Amino acid sequence: MRYVLALDQGTTSSRAIVFDERGRACGAAQKEFRQHFPKPGWVEHDAEEIFRSQLACARAALRKAKLAPSRLAAVGITNQRETVVVWDRRTGKPAHRAIVWQDRRTAERCEALKKEGLAGTIRAKTGLVIDPYFSATKLEWLLANVPGLKERAEKGDVLFGTIDSWLAWKLTAGKLHLTDPSNASRTQLYDIHRGEWDDELLKIFGVPRAMLPEVLPSSHIYGSVAKTMLGAEVPLAGIAGDQQAALFGQACHEAGMAKNTYGTGCFLLLNTGSEAITSKSGLVTTCAAQTNTFALEGSVFIGGAVVQWLRDGLRLIKKSVDVEKLAASVRDSDGVYFVPAFAGLGAPHWDPYARGTIVGLTRGSNAGHIARAALESIAFQSAELLHAMEQDSGVKSKELRVDGGAAADNLLMQFQSDLLGIPVVRPKVLETTALGAAYLAGLATGVWASREEIAKQWKVAKRFEPKMKREEAGRRMGEWKRALERARGWGKG
């Protein structure tokens, strides 16, 4: 039996899972790390803490699997995307805390770029809209605000990377500075059509080329994880951004197949094959974790994170899994709508000034109604994405494959099916993000021979069929849109 270790570095926690050649999880570990909020709308991570937590999880997963590291065929990395790390080439010390994808500090800069008429140029090259979500303005902010950083970057003394690059550099003891197209395509510095860093984009954002990682295929033997990390040298052979990894792990290998991941945010991706479709409905075009393959993507910034807020902010629940029971304590939300725009609104609205809003409260409203409205907000936002995707592609979806932590919530999945009017399909392996990273690494090292072999391992655990009348679903979506309007632009004052 051959084994692959997947490192799944997320926004709120690091995970590691050992998979065997049948795609079964043999050992797993997870560790949350601290979120830093220095100012309203700012979100940061300690890059060193991320690495320590990820390495600890890797070692713990191997222990739980009772597997010697020498028996690993490969290691794969999947990661939160767009988050920016800059570190010293010689010492490995980060120049600043990592600026997280949710961070909104560059909203004014993005507005200025739009006024300069650069939206068309950036969209044509990158497939992305101008928004603080993406890496370029975050990196630009660091270069302008960390004393001496720009000069050091121009000399090649500091390196830039998304989280995958940071982990690869650390795991290989500074030997590898690289990324893959799925992550590079989220930086707003990469031409997705030519497959390379773009000089015009680098000039717009003032980014020195010397600090950029090399871009290599998502499934590729890059080098080896240092022996000091896991106890044996193991090929590092797969890298993909978390959502593209999940698309691969869900075996959505053919054009027209879609998946939705319910994690900290929600991310709906449609495989569009070799065609990079330009969205007219507020979605973005991105590189998939397959050679010369693209996807349409819709990003919801606050998905499962709204449940964490109920737990940590309001203290309505003790554990995230308790939310389903609390939400099920009431028949419905009783007219309460929750727009969790804590970090603005992503696709299809792209409003960095939107803020979290709860409307429809009465004296009869209780914790159950708020919990239910919070869960329903995840489904409402995802439904908007699928509707936009159908408009762009001209194809009506037949089913939606789902994964991620919140996909285990039956109440949420049933409501999602009700809103969409199509089956929602949950696979036996919910950790498809990690599984996708494992598959990519295993393909490069011969654990799996082909994508067809991988697709045969995908199995259905539960299928949710729509029960709600279409008129009622339409009414609920209409009410949701009314609530959205209350949240739009609030941060502008």
Q: What is the pLDDT of residues 240-289, one digit of tens each?
A: 999 999 999 999 888 888 899 898 889 999 888 888 888 888 899 999 98
Angle, helix 163-171 to helix 47-64, in steps of 10 degrees:
60
**pLDDT single digits (tens) 181-235:** 999 999 999 999 999 999 999 999 999 999 999 999 999 999 999 999 999 999 9
* 419 pLDDT above the threshold of 90: yes
**Across 60-69, 138-147, 270-279, 355-364, least confident range:** 270-279
**pLDDT single digits (tens) 263-277:** 888 999 988 888 888
On the 0-12 / 13-18 / 19+ scale of CB atoms within 10 A, 477 is middle
Residue 411: alpha-carbon gap to chain centroid: 23
First to last CA, the chain: 60
| pLDDT at position 153 | 95
| pLDDT at position 337 | 97
Tokens, residue 231: 């106890």
CA 64 to CA 88: how far, in whole Å?
A: 35
**pLDDT single digits (tens) 312-357:** 999 999 988 889 999 999 999 999 999 999 988 988 998 988 999 9
| pLDDT at position 301 | 87
Which stretches of 65-134 are DSSP H helices?
107-115, 119-126
* 14 pLDDT above the threshold of 80: yes
Rounded to an integer, the average pLDDT of 53-75 is 96
Rounded to an integer, the average pLDDT of 42-47 is 96
| pLDDT at position 291 | 76
Residue with tokens 């609530």: 483
* 395 pLDDT above the threshold of 80: no
Q: Cα Rg for the chain, rounded, in angstroms?
A: 21
Confidence of residue 488 (pLDDT cuts 50, 70, 90): very high
| pLDDT at position 442 | 96
Name the average pLDDT for the chain: 93
User: How many helices (H) and strands (E) in the chain?
Assistant: 17, 23
Q: What is the β-pairing status of strands 44-45 and 3-9?
A: unpaired
* 30 pLDDT above the threshold of 80: yes
Q: What is the β-pairing status of strands 214-215 and 178-179?
A: parallel
| pLDDT at position 263 | 84
Asked if 94 contacts 453 with a C-beta cutoff of 8 angstroms, the reply is: no
DSSP 474: H
| pLDDT at position 41 | 86
CA 321 to CA 375: how far, in whole Å?
A: 12
CA 37 to CA 25: how far, in whole Å?
A: 34
Confidence of residue 416 (pLDDT cuts 50, 70, 90): very high
Confidence of residue 25 (pLDDT cuts 50, 70, 90): very high
CA 245 to CA 240: how far, in whole Å?
A: 5
Rounded to an integer, the average pLDDT of 136-161 is 95
